[in-house]
Structure 1
C-alpha cells in the first residue's frame, strides 16, 4: 500500500545524493528577493523528512505536519504563506468542475481533496489552465526567483522545485525542494530533464 502511495505523489525519496547546502558558499544572491522564495526557505530545517503517505486533511488550507512531506508540499506551503494561494482548494474546485481535464494516472473517478493537490501532474495541469506556463529552456537567465519548475527524475518520476534567489558561481539559479531528505536549497536546476516552467500570477 505504501509503495502505491509513493507512486501517487511526487517522487525522489531515493535520490539524496547530489548538491548540498554547503555549495551555497560559492553562491551569490541577486537583487529582487521573491516572497515565494522566502516562504520556501523557511521550511529548510523544519521539513526534515520525505514522507509520501496518504493523509486525510482538513479543507481548505489542509496540511500535514511541517516536519515531513514531499516535493509538492514545499510549493503548497510556500504559495499559501507568501501569496495566500491555497493549492488544495484551487485544484479541488477545478477538478470538480473539469475532472476530465486532469490526468487519469491513478484510476480515480472523482476528486480527492486530501491528495490531488499533492500530485505533480495535477499541479502542472492547474498551472497551465491558469495561464502560468512559460517556455522550458536551458537558459539560466530565463528562470527567476519564485518560478516553479517541474522535471522527471530517474526517467519517469515527476518532481517540482522552486527557483531560488541564490545563484551558483556560474550564475545558474539554485532551487528549493524536497527530493528525499527534507526541504533543501541546492544547485540542481538542470540536473534532471525539465518538463515545465511556471510563474505564479494571482
Structure 2
C-alpha cells in the first residue's frame, strides 16, 4: 500500500489514528508468520505481507510515530524482572528482534506505561484505538486493536491477525478477555516524571 511506511506526526490524542493505521494493514498483511528474524533496530519490522497479532499493534503505533520495538526494549532493559519469561522462550536478556512481538511483553508494557482498564463485556467501555488481549484456544495469548467501526449490535470490531493476515472482525467477545489498555495514557493519568 503506497505510503504505508510514512510516519504521521505524533499527536496528543492518537487513539483514532491508531485504529486508522491498523485498518491500513487489511489486505496488505495477508500471511501469519511467527518466525524469529533479525530486525533492524530501532524501526525494524518483518516483511509487510506477513506477521503476527503483535505486528498489527506495533505497526499501527509506529505509523503514528510511536516505536514499540524501541520502547519495549528500553523498558525491558530497565525492568527485566517485571516482564514475564515463560518456559520455552529461552530469554536471558532483552532481545529487540522479538520482545515487542510477544503478547505478554506488550501487555506488561501497556500496563506499566499506559492506562490499564478492567476487561468487561460492555461494548461502551471500548474506544477506537484501545488495545485488548485474550486467551484463545488452546490457551494462547492474543492481542488486537479496537476499530472505529461497530457491528450492527453495537459491539466494536477489532483489528487483529489470528492466522489469516490482518482482518477487522466482530471478535471482541469471542474469547476470554485478559487485558484492556489505552496507550499513551490519557493526560489525566500521567502523574509527573518522564514516561
TM (normalized to structure 2)?
0.84
Matched, 1:79 2:79: no
Deviation of 1:155 after TM superposition, in Å, equals 4.3
Query: Partners in 2 of 1:160 and 1:194 — Cα distance?
Result: 10
- State the match for 2:191 in structure 1: none
Query: Partners in 2 of 1:192 and 1:73 — Cα distance?
Result: 20
Query: Partners in 2 of 1:91 and 1:182 — Cα distance?
Result: 24
Deviation of 1:107 after TM superposition, in Å, equals 3.2
- State the match for 1:97 in structure 2: 78
Query: Partners in 1 of 2:116 and 2:138 — Cα distance?
Result: 22
Deviation of 1:132 after TM superposition, in Å, equals 2.1
Query: Partners in 1 of 2:42 and 2:114 — Cα distance?
Result: 23
Superposition pairs for residues 46-195 of structure 1, below 5 Å? 46-82=28-64, 84-105=65-86, 106-195=89-178
1:51-98 deviation digits (Å, cap 9, x = unpaired): 00001000001001100000000000000102x111100111011111
Instruction: Work out which structure has the larger RCO, using CA pairs closer than 8 Å and 6 or more positions apart in sequence.
Output: 1
| 2:135 match: secondary structure | strand
Write out the 4+ residue segments of structure 1 that deviate beyond 2 Å after TM superposition: none
Query: Partners in 1 of 2:113 and 2:99 — Cα distance?
Result: 17
Query: Partners in 1 of 2:144 and 2:75 — Cα distance?
Result: 22
Q: Residues 132 and 143 of structure 2 are in contact (CA less than 8 Å); yes or no, is this contact kept in structure 1? A: yes
| 2:167 match: secondary structure | strand
- The partner residue of 1:37 within 19, 27, 50 is 19
Q: Give me the CA root mean square deviation.
A: 1.1
| 1:159 match: secondary structure | strand
1:102-151 deviation digits (Å, cap 9, x = unpaired): 10112311111100000000001111111321111110000000100000
Q: Residues 69 and 96 of structure 2 are in contact (CA less than 8 Å); yes or no, is this contact kept in structure 1? A: yes
